[in-house]
Amino acid sequence: MTKSAVIFDLDGTLVDTAPDLWGATNHVLKAHGRREVSLDDVYDMVGMGAKKLIERGFERTGEPARADMIDILFRQFIDFYSANITARSQPYPGVLALLDELKARGVGLAVCTNKLERLSVKLINGLDMAHYFSAIIGPDTIGVAKPDPRPLFAAIRATGGVRSRAIMIGDSATDIRTAQAAAIPVVAVSFGYTHTHVSAFEPDHIVDHFDEVLPILEGRFATHV
């Protein structure tokens, strides 16, 4: 029997990581004499990676960061974030119940993220979620980042599944474009980290809660997943 595969994005999809990204952002800002930003600011600024988050934080609190400082600021951010990666981050409501159900049904599960692999693994381990996933694919895992479809293909292979019975779940234009480039259906969550509503990127499905995902998967795969 051909195995089904469900591939998840991480930040803003499986886990609300913004509170810990907020802490790391303010750590860097304070270290360089800037005021703190609010959590709402971080929700507004997040996306496109840590370097862009730092740049936006500096722009929001004064003069832009000098180009020759970005790598130093990035290392300071990563050091603090890595040490506090699960201080306040939590899986979104309904995530664990869905993962439990899919795992019980024998569905292959993996993560495909643009977060560095070592940070992704540390986050997943810290939240006691590693047992669900066959692989955690970051941009450095195979040297290519989303929206290139190759990380998604690697994640599907790691589950033992096939593309014809695979689906991606994500929160951003990047996730949706990755799935579209791979010719794989995509479910977009409405509660993630995107400034434009996900409907603008034309995903196959949009959900407001993970409780809505299983019927979509059953319909997509025609039989019980």
Q: Which residues are catalytic?
A: 9
Nearest in space to 101 (alpha carbons), one of 223, 181, 215: 215
DSSP, collapsed to helix, strand or coil, labels residue 10 as coil
Q: Angle at Cα 130 formed by Cα 88 and Cα 192, nearest 5°? A: 50
Tokens of 64: 């832009």
Q: What is the DSSP string of 156-213?
A: HHHHT--GGGEEEEESSHHHHHHHHHHT--EEEETTSS-SS-GGGG--SEEESSGGGH
Handedness of CA 112, 114, 115, 118 (dihedral sign): positive
Element (H, E) at 221: none
> How far from chain centre, in Å, is Cα 47?
10
Q: Which of 211, 192, 212, 225 is nearest to 94 (CA)?
A: 211
Dist. CA 83–CA 27, nearest whole Å? 12
Q: Which two tokens stand for residue 208?
A: 């407001």
d(C-alpha 113, C-alpha 142), whole Å: 12
Amino acid in the structure at residue 203: P
